[in-house]
Structure 1
Amino acid sequence: MHRGDSSGSSSSAESVKSEQETVPVKPSGKDFYKVLGVSPESNEDEIKKAYRKLALKFHPDKNSDAEAEDKFKEIAEAYEILTDPKKRAIYDQFGEEGLKNGVTLTSHGNLFRSNVPTDSFSHGYEHFDIFFGQDDDELFKPFRRFPHSRHQPSAVHELPVTLEEVLQGCTKHVKITRKRLNPDGCSLRSEDKVLNVVVKKGWRAGTKITFPREGDETQNKGPADVTFVLKDEEHPQYRREGANIVYTAKITLKEALCGCTINVPTLDSRMMPLPCSDIIKPGATRRLRGEGLPLPKSPSQKGDLVVEFQVLFPDRIPPQSREIIKHSLAKC
């Protein structure tokens, strides 16, 4: 009897111990704080600044290294987790595996596992709202300003740039007006914000530059992203073809047949002489190598300045000149 009581007591203790050990002591999987180079105590602004710095460094449009795209995806994944209150709270306790396996918390902070695993950090978290009870508002009070994990659609704006700005690179200071929640969490206010949009050398029309969570805010969703799409401004002298720029040179029929030297303006305000000794046909082209725009992925290299010839024909020819031309061109 005495031994049986001892055995029963031991079994009960082991059962309690087993239940207590269902909550992992250390998070497993990727260290998202390390990925962004921040500490677990970092606030949202610090995480945002770290993300922007790394995103500029590893964006595939700006970094041609083979590993840049994978690194960019990794920091984007870390940013998404650490700026989402629910995901961050779960990650801090249960790590990456907890997020992947559908782990959430009960109202008392205990481990709970849903039967709907997630396959990606970019979607599949809607089911978390189902498992949070009313008492969870107190548990997540410091994090629940934005109750839903999805953001609003990005606000898209065109950003006109001149060819000179694309040649040199520039920073555009763009003022936006956005709506933000007041501290009461219900009413909205309008505020102005200046965004410094960095345009790198050689970037093409259509390139997108995104500022995460800098747009309008609502009660049900976090702030929208703001995206700028580059658009080439029309240039008075050139048209753009990728990294090449095309300049139209107008020459007379005499110059086209007898040869000439034309001065071609470059995008950085120089004049380059271009001798033409051969007959120039309408639409013919010549190239000034390396006088175009920087290549987006290799800014030290440039495209060409393509000179396209437009031959200006006379409106009339005097009778005596007509006979001379006929005689001169008889064997052509």
Structure 2
Amino acid sequence: MNGIHSFRYNGDSMRGSDQASSRGVYRNRGVDNCFPSMPSLSRNASNRRSTTPTPSCIYRNMSKKSTDNLPRAPSPLLSKNASRRSSTPIMFSNSSGLLKPPAVERRLECKLEELCYGCTKKIKITRDVVTNTGQIVQQEEILTIKVKPGWKKGTKITFEGKGNERPGSYPAGITFVIAEKRHPLFRRDGNDLELAVEIPLRKALTGCTMSVPLLGGERKSLKIEDIIYPGYEKIISGQGMPISNEKGKRGNLKITFLVDFPKQLTDEQRSEIVSILQDSS
């Protein structure tokens, strides 16, 4: 239960690649040759007559302005950079300018008994650390997790700054996600436990007193007076999993009986069964 698990964290997956940015260059195009070509002798005279551009020139200016205001289609370079950014891990920044990579998730498998009664897990990790000279060295450390009674699979425990370090960024965090190991007898359903018990046909019809196992290793005597049919269920209150938000309360233990029918009978046994059950509905 208190064994030491070892994980190796590879920080390469937490590096943020430099984002290439594209700068579009825009040029204001002047409108040349707006006036019709005139002979040199009459140029001054035409200038004195009118300085207003011709309608064809005005129309060309209006068409150029209207097309300049339309949204431009992204260049292939911009599309390539956008697709590249979408596959890059998200890096968070703050006022200090340092990047904060997302936490790395790891599974932490626990037995059903550990999730029921609680335990202490010690996990040995190896991570990259940046020294004062800028070198990256490996450092070993042991993290302690106190598993509380009633924790369910999917519960997350995060250690800030216990991941790999990289120059120009904060150390990454490590998040352990609780995973539930399969139990040979019990199955968890929320706060309840389920147990399947096989019982012979004779005891199922005549009743019996039997001993059923509990999760902690104890056994409980259970008296059955009802006729047990396939799918019959018996509930023992307070023998399930602890309810984390209700101190001192536990779920129920649901026992499902599987009737074990005989695979063969003699002629004498068949006759006796017929005579016994002939008046039953």
Q: TM-score, normalised by structure 1?
A: 0.54
Task: Compute the displacement of 1:223 (Å).
Answer: 0.9
Distance 1:205 1:172 in 2: 15
Change (3 A) 1:204 1:126: closer
For residue 231 of structure 1, what is the aligned residue in structure 2? 179
Point out which structure has higher relative CO (alpha carbons under 8 A, 6+ apart). Answer: 2
Q: Which residue of 2 aligns with 1:194?
A: 142
SS in 1 for 2:274: helix
Matching residue within 110, 122, 132 for 1:183: 132
**In 2, Cα distance between equivalents of 1:233 and 1:309:** 24
The amino acid that maps onto 1:210 is T
Cα separation, 1, equivalents of 2:144 and 2:94: 37
Q: Which runs of 5+ in 1 are unaligned?
A: 1-122, 129-143
Q: Corresponding residue for 1:300?
A: 248
- Which of 153, 163, 188 lines up with 1:205 in the alignment? 153
Q: Matched residues in 1 for 2:153 and 2:105: separation?
A: 14
- Deviation >6 Å, runs of 4+: none
SS across alignment from 1:201: coil
Residue 300 of structure 1 aligns to a residue whose secondary structure is coil
1:168 equivalent in alignment to 2:117 = yes
* Residue 220 (str. 1) matches residue 168 (str. 2): yes
Distance 2:94 2:273 in 1: 86
Question: CA, structure 1 residues 254+177, in 2 after alignment: closer, same or farther (shift >3 Å)?
Answer: same
Match of 2:259 in 1: 311
Q: CA deviation at 1:126?
A: 5.2
Match of 2:83 in 1: none
Contact 1:202 1:299 in 2 (8 A): no
Note the C-alpha offset of 1:183.
1.3
Q: Which residue of structure 2 aligns with residue 324 of structure 1?
A: 272
Alignment partner, residue 251 of structure 1: 199
Shift of the 174–225 alpha-carbon distance from structure 1 to 2, 3 Å rule, reads same
How far residue 303 of structure 1 moved from its aligned partner, in angstroms, is 0.6
1:302 shift after superposition: 0.5
| CA distance 1:161–1:299, change in 2 (3 Å) | farther
> Aligned partners of 1:319 and 1:310: how far apart in 2?
26
Paired positions, count: 191
SS at match of 1:301: coil
After superposition, the CA RMSD in angstroms is: 2.0
TM-score of the pair, normalised by structure 2: 0.64
> What letter matches 2:108 in structure 1?
L
Q: Letter of the aligned partner of 2:111 in structure 1?
A: T
Query: What is the distance in 1 between the residues matched to 2:147 and 2:261?
Result: 43
Structure 1 partner of 2:226: 278
- Are the counterparts in 1 of residues 93 and 100 from structure 2 also a CA contact under 8 Å? no
Report which of the two has the higher share of helix.
Answer: 1
The CA deviation at 1:327 is 2.2
- Take 1:263 and 1:219, find their aligned partners in 2: how far apart are those partners? 62
Tell me the equivalent position of 1:154: 103
The 5 Å alignment of 1:118-133 reads 128=95
Counterpart of 2:210? Answer: 262
Q: Offset at 1:127?
A: 8.3
Matches of 1:263 and 1:203 in 2, distance apart? 28
Residue 240 (str. 1) matches residue 240 (str. 2): no
**Deviations 1:164-190 (Å, cap 9, x if unpaired)?**
1112211100111111112123x3111
The gaps in structure 2 that reach 5 residues or longer are 1-89
Matches within 5 A, 1:81-120: none
SS in 2 for 1:295: coil
